[in-house]
Structure 1
Amino acid sequence: MIWPGGMRTFARFSDLPPLESAMSADLEHIRKIMAEADCLYTEAEVEAAIARVGAQINDQLADSNPVVFCVMNGGLIFSGKLLTYLNFPLEASYLHATRYRNETSGGDLFWKAKPEVSFIDRDVLIIDDILDEGHTLGAIIDFCRHAGARAVHTAVLIDKEHDRKARPDLKADFVGLPCIDRYIFGYGMDYKGYWRNANGIFAVKGM
């Protein structure tokens, strides 16, 4: 198209990529992932595990006046459910550090939001969705220790079983469920940004 008095050329809408068709194809793939996924843990099994972790934390941290940090975005659902089982005074906040950027394998560590609540000389409980290789969780633990936390505790919904941990001594203090080494989603964990809302723990077919 040529505007009067000028030579600026603009692409016609018909020349642009079919965005709606591309989005539909992507959503079809996302739905197929869920339809073909293997259910590793049902909703009832996950809820029972969360209740058990809550009881363990009550036993060990009830008198520590901790600051509890949810690791966004994956830890959101687990953290929200777990907090309702904790029957002692605490401060709840969040932080956001990630390596994944909606991809299926890790990259560099990105800090999107550092803690805003002071935790100097206080116990810290970090709640995350999964302990996989542990690069992200390990970096968060180190950050809290170096910033003055009295003690750092960790709770994860899933502990993935493999020999690729970032360091040999990296273990979560509170674990909901063990998991085989597959690409999983649900209860806060995602597949390329989708299915955090799935009400169970699922594994992608073939992964």
Structure 2
Amino acid sequence: MNIETVNQTLSEADCLYDQQQVEAALDKMAAAMTQVLKNSDPLVLCVLTGAIIPAGHLLTRLNFPMQIDYIHATRYAGETSGGELNWQVRPSHPLAGRNILIIDDILDEGITLDAIMAHCRAEGASEVYSAVLVEKQHDRKNGLQADFVGLRTDDRYLFGYGMDYKGYLRNAPGIYAVKGL
């Protein structure tokens, strides 16, 4: 991948949601999260690397006590299709007896998110909530539903606001679909 290819991918992509639309969705997510979690002293887990940007934007909108940690589990590793789940970092805070909020960038097939939620439950979490900036609309999720969803899209390859295309374009100021994917 070279910079010319990255720039061409961005210039040819379809903008599904611009920055203003994404920010409005983050506002709505934060309001819903606040309603549910404001008195629960949650441990918020940011799923690396994709959730760095949505989590950063969400956390500044949540005005209640919480602790923040991260988890790094991935199936993509810079590729455009998922493989085997690879646990790189587990949370450093104890999960037992805690209310957990997992923030991820996207709910596609849900394999990674489901495994992270199962890990939290196995560690004794009291409640486990999930938040995703984007949920793809298709029937491959095996019934998995996120508790908080910002935006919904068709089943295309997306980038921007944390989601990448071959390791690039996570910082694109909107949600884009790669042309032809």
Shorter-chain TM range is over 0.9
User: Matches of 1:120 and 1:177 in 2, distance apart?
Assistant: 31
1:131 is matched with which residue: 93, 103, 107?
107
SS at match of 2:10: helix
Correspondence 1:143 to 2:119? yes
What is the correspondence of 1:17-56 to structure 2 with a 5 Å cutoff? 26-56=2-32
Unaligned runs of 5+ in 2: none
SS at match of 2:125: coil
**What's the TM-score, normalizing by structure 1?**
0.86
Q: CA deviation at 1:50?
A: 0.3
What is the correspondence of 1:9-158 to structure 2 with a 5 Å cutoff? 26-158=2-134
RMSD between superposed Cα atoms in Å: 0.7
User: Matches of 1:129 and 1:174 in 2, distance apart?
Assistant: 11
Q: CA deviation at 1:56?
A: 0.4
Correspondence 1:206 to 2:168? no
Give the fraction of aligned pairs with identical amino acids, expressed as a percent.
Answer: 55
SS at match of 1:103: coil
User: Matches of 1:108 and 1:38 in 2, distance apart?
Assistant: 29
User: Matches of 1:35 and 1:178 in 2, distance apart?
Assistant: 22
The one-letter code of the counterpart of 2:39 is: D
**What's the TM-score, normalizing by structure 2?**
0.98
> Larger % of strand: which?
2
> 1:12-70: per-residue Cα shift (whole Å, max 9, x none)?
xxxxxxxxxxx6xx221111100100000000000000011000011011111100000
Q: Pick the structure with greater CA Rg.
A: 1
Q: Which has the higher contact order (CA 8 A, sep 6+)?
A: 2
User: Matches of 1:84 and 1:54 in 2, distance apart?
Assistant: 9
User: Matches of 1:175 and 1:83 in 2, distance apart?
Assistant: 15
> 1:65-113: per-residue Cα shift (whole Å, max 9, x none)?
1000000000000000100111110001101000001000010000010
List structure 1 segments (4+ residues) > 4 angstroms apart after TM superposition.
none
Unaligned runs of 5+ in 1: 1-22
User: Matches of 1:76 and 1:192 in 2, distance apart?
Assistant: 17
